[in-house]
Amino acid sequence: MGISVTQLLIVLVIVIVLFGTKRLRNMGGDLGGAVKGFRSAMKDGEEDKNLEDQDENVVDADVIDSAEADKKPEQDKV
């Protein structure tokens, strides 16, 4: 009980008659541009997240290094 090929063709013809090929082409281009922009934004978001994670790792390493440096003089005194 699915949609047959003839039913799809009838719907396609009705859509073309209602909107015209030029308007459908413009809508397709707009939709493609929107998808491209979305993918670009997702990629930029991932790169930003990776940079933030790397920055956090560097800060954590600096904190650990400074904490170890603070402990060493105390151990020498004892």
- Which pLDDT tens digit goes with each residue over 17-53? 999 989 989 999 999 999 999 999 998 888 877 777 7
User: What predicted TM-score, i.e. pTM, was given to this entire model?
Assistant: 0.46
Closest CA to 16 of 8, 2, 51, 29: 8
pLDDT tops 60 at residue 11 = yes
Give the model's confidence band at 56: pLDDT under 50 very low, under 70 low, under 90 confident, else very high: low
Closest CA to 53 of 43, 45, 65: 45
